Every structure is written in structure tokens, then in C-alpha cells.
Structure 1
Amino acid sequence: METNNNEREQLEQAKKRVQEIKGFYGHLAAYVGVNIFFLAVNLLASPKHLWFFWPMLGWGIGVAMHGLRVFNYMPFFGKDWEEKKIRDFMQEEELQKNELKDQHHGKL
């Protein structure tokens, strides 16, 4: 029964991961498409003043951060960091429970 739950959990994690990757590629496609549109509008409307770089730069930072998070390249606050912190907190809580048990048993 536990193996079935573990496999189901792994399947759900895999599906979630695929959705995150699809979301990133959708974000990237929108970024490219909209910035091509901005470039065309900029060149047609005011070719001497190139302003399309600014939204491209700002949004590009967001796309880059999204990609770093999805592909787990962020050293801080990535999935590995979160999982490690969760394990650390769980271990700390278990140690505190054991210390309380030991103190309680020592008094009896």
C-alpha cells in the first residue's frame, strides 16, 4: 500500500514539474512574440529613438528568474534549498521532542 502511495506521489510530482516547465516555455514564447511586436512598432513609429530595449530588459529579467527557478539553478530559495530546510526543521523538532521526553522521564 505504501509503495502505491509513493508511486502516486512521484507521479503527481512529475506532473507538477512538467506543468512548471510548460509554464516557463509559454512565458518565454510570449516574451519573444511581444518583444518582436514592440521592435516592429518601435522601428515603424520612431526609428530614431529605440525604446523597445527597456521593456525587453525588464521582462527579460523576469523570464530569466522564472527559468532559474523552474530548472533549479537558484542557489537560494530553490527546490533543493526548500527541501533541505524542511528536513532541517523536522529534525530540529524531533530533537526537541526527544529532549522533552528525556527530561520528562528523568523527573519521574
Structure 2
Amino acid sequence: MTSPLSPEEIETLARRRASAKLGWYVHAAAFVLVNALLFAMSRYAFGTRPWSIYPLLGWGLGLVLHGVSVFLLGSGDGLRERMVQREREALQREQAQKQQDQHRP
């Protein structure tokens, strides 16, 4: 069971998620622009052989995986969030143990 987030934690998490989404949008824009240029080059500058499909497919797979990690796995119940929560709880237990040890005679 997770404890409620403090306002600072909510702010940090919201900023991290917004940055991840913005990063994906920048990635998608670069993908469209570069692949449009490659398509134009393969079509008009270097003949009609459609070699530009290969970078489009490879980069497209990377873009899809990036989107999955941002929009599906980064929603808050993802593996990363659970791992962060476990580490936070472990650190809190260690801190509580140290405080108890200091108060023992």
C-alpha cells in the first residue's frame, strides 16, 4: 500500500511526466521532418528506389517504444514507480531504525 504523496512529490512527479511527454513530442517532430527529407531525397535526388523506408521503419520502431514507455508505462503504476516506492520505503525503514538505535541507552 502506498502512502499519499506530498505536494512537493506531486509537483516533482508532474514535472517529470510533462518533460517525458514533451520529449516524445520533440522526438516525433524530428522523426516526421527528417523522414520527409529522406523520402524527398530518395524520390527526387537519388532516383526512384525507395531506400528511405529502412530508416523510417527502424526509427519508427524506436519512436513507438519511446511512446509506450512515456504514455503507457509512465502512467504512475509502472515498474519504475513501484521500484521508486520500494526504495523510498526501504530508506524510511532504515532511517527509523537509525533513530531508534540512537535513542537506546
Structure 2: gaps (5+ residues): 94-105
Cα 1:8–1:73 shift into 2, 3 Å:
closer
Rg: which structure is higher? 1
Looking at structure 2, the residues matched to 65 and 41 of structure 1 have their Cα atoms a distance apart, in angstroms, of 27
Total equivalences in the alignment: 86
Percent identical pairs in the alignment equals 30
* 1:1-108 matched pairs, under 5 angstroms: 6-73=6-73, 80-85=78-83
Looking at structure 2, the residues matched to 87 and 18 of structure 1 have their Cα atoms a distance apart, in angstroms, of 20
Structure 1: gaps (5+ residues): 95-108
Higher RCO, 1 vs 2 (CA within 8 Å, ≥6 residues apart): 2
* SS in structure 2 of the partner of residue 64 of structure 1: helix
In the superposition, the TM-score normalised over structure 1's length comes to 0.66
In the superposition, the TM-score normalised over structure 2's length comes to 0.68
Name the aligned partner's letter for residue 33 of structure 1.
L
- What RMSD, in angstroms, separates the aligned Cα atoms of the two structures? 2.8
